[in-house]
Each structure stands twice: as C-alpha cells, then as structure tokens.
Amino acid sequence: MSDEARAGRRVRRGTARLAAAVLATAGLLAAGHAADAGSASGRVDVPDRAGRAVAGRTVSPSPAGAGRLAAVEEGVQGGGALAARPSPVAAGTPRTAHARDAAAGAPAPVAAATATQARTSPTVAPPSVPPATVAPPRTTTPTATAPATPTARPTTPPTTAPTAPPTIAPTVTATPGASPRSLTDAITDAIRDAWGTPTPAATPVPTGPDCRRVKCVALTFDDGPGPYTATLLRHLAARKARATFFVVGQNVVAHPDLVRRAAAAGHEIGGHSWSHRDLTTLRAASIRADLARTAKAVKAATGVAPTIMRPPYGAQNAYVRKHAKQPMIMWSVDTLDWRYRSSARVARVAVKNARPGGIILFHDIHPTTVKAIPRVLKKLSARGYHFVTVSELLGTAPGKLVYRGPRP
C-alpha cells in the first residue's frame, strides 16, 4: 500500500470516529432535552426503534439516569473516553435503518443503540439535530420525580485564617547520639573537610621581653584596689606598661571590676593578705586561712588564683614562709610613698634607684603616688627600660622563696 493510500485511510478513520461521536452526542442530548421538558407534565413523546415519535408514553426520569446522561455528555464534549473511543468502519458497509434515520435528522432511541449503529456507518457529515416533539405542558403542579439532589453545600463558606508561608530553614543532619550543633558549626566543619583548613589556634597571651638581654624593671603596687586604681590603669595603658598588683582581699570584694580590668590588661595579680594583718603574729591555721580567702576572692574576680604574694609590711619569718607556701615577693626600691606624700619625691626616688631586674614598691591607694607614675614611666623609658610583671622578670618560677631584687 502506498503512502498516499495509508494517509487517506487514516483520514477516513479519524473522520468516522468524529462522526460517531457527534451522532452519539446528538442522540443523548435529544433524549435528555425531551426528558427534561416532559418532566413538567409527566408525558413525553418517545421515538420508537424506527425513529418515529410515539405520543402518550409517560416518562419519569430517574436520578441515576440523569446522572449517567450528564456524565456521557460531559465526556463527549470534553474529549473524554467516549469521544476518543476507536470505531473502525469498513469501507462499503451498508447503512442500517437507524443510521439512515439519524442522517435524516431523527434522534436515536437510546444512547447504546445509537453508539452501536454509528460504529458501522461510513463517514457522514455532522447532522443538525432538531428539537424533540414535546406535548404541551399542563397547568397543574408537576408530579414527576425530582432529579437527584446534589450534595448540600454550606451556606457560608468556611472561614480559614490566613496562614503565613512556612519559613524554610536549612537543616543539618545530626549523627545519632551526638550532641546538637549549630548551623555555623556544621558549615565550618564542611568547609574544613573540603579544603583542609586547620582549626585556628587560640591567640597567645603576649609575653614580655627577654629580660636577660634587655633592661627590665617591675613596678609593684600594694594595698589596692582603691579609688585611684582606675586612673593608674590609664597611665600604664598609655605607655603599654605592665605592672603587678598585690591586692588586699577585702578590697577585691569591694572593687572586683578594677581587679578584673587590671588582669584583662595584662597586669599580674598577687595576694597581700585579707585585711593587711601582720602574718608573723598569726597561728599556722590563721595564716593559711587568710591567704586562701584572699586567693578565692581574686579567683572570683579574674578567674585565676594568684601564684605569688607579698606579706603586709614586709613582715615574714621562717614560720610564715613555711605555711604560706607561695613565693614571697619583696622589693629592691622602697619609695616610702606612704610616708612622703610628694609626687615629685616619689618619682625622683624611683627613677634614681632603678636597676635592671629591680622591683619598685608603690601604693596605689595614695593619689600622690598615682600622680607620679607618668613621670616615672617617661624617665625610665628614655633610659631603655621595659616594664614587666614580677613573673616575667623572674621567669617561670622564682629561684628563692623570698626575692628582694638587686640593691641600688
């Protein structure tokens, strides 16, 4: 068979299918209209098998039938299964009586018969469907059975509260049994796994200069913190100088913020007893309790317990040294600032008697002492001195239990 013959055959088949669908639709619609019109009077003229109208038959459309008609009509008009159903038609098939009646314009008696006859008919043009013959309606109230009542709908549409769009949050798959992690940790770990980035090391605490090669001096301040300690911290910060504070425990409790600021600035905190009592007059248990109470207060303020101490008044002996069990830091220069309240004298004595490796004694509870510090820092810096803490000056651990420093 040639290509032209095949194409013609496909065209004829498609046309036949379309004609069958149109005929079936026409018959169903005609029957449906007739049933609807006759439902008002209870009587309708129904065509017989030959397509001729027969008057006087009483029709009571059932709900099921009305539903099937509506479904078929919707399926045909919308291109459903009925419209797409294949209906092969052989060329030269003779027409039947029903097919001739349908082509002449008479409605098919039933949908099934019309569809069956349409499958055997050749290609025809879609006919025009005349309206069915309907008896005049009566004026009485209709008694026909009402069609099926559709499912009741609510009179008032349900009120639905507006729903906010869901927030899509990134999820992290957690390992069973592992502690929950934040999204930042998960992203960081993924980047490290992909690029091999090592975990950054903690920033090391800045260490002082090597006092074996450069000139170093340790400025120490006793009896604080007090009302002038904050000003002293500003003077030291201006010169980037570090110092050591030997604090009294009860003053630490009264001014923990000052002790915390001093430690955060890199200064060293040492103990100076709880209430500045002479330790040589106390029993062993009292010495230990006094120093332990002071260390606890310092740790509460800074997070670190002191490792060095200075006995009040510099009073110490073998008994105190035995029970203190901490390096006792004395001094090499005593400015006597507690006796002579002169800023000029304090600065002059400190600068004149300073030596490399020296420890200078001040008291930050006196305003004249705090006022002298900027001059001391300026003069000693000009001479090449570096200002360090006691532990930086002595190294990791003092070589002696009592350290006085070099004498002037």
Q: Which residues are catalytic?
A: 222, 363
Give the residue from 387, 356, 36 showing the smallest Cα distance to 244: 387
Give the residue from 233, 243, 260 showing the smallest Cα distance to 208: 243
Cα separation, 243 vs 388, in Å, equals: 6
Q: Are 286 and 319 in contact (CB under 8 A)?
A: no
Q: Are 208 and 242 in contact (CB under 8 A)?
A: yes
Q: Where does 282-373 show beta strands of DSSP type E?
A: 328-329, 333-334, 358-363
Cα separation, 288 vs 271, in Å, equals: 12
Q: What is the token pair recorded at 201? A: 């090391």
Examine residue 225 and say whether the peptide bond preceding it is cis (omega within 30 degrees of 0). yes
3-state secondary structure of 276: coil
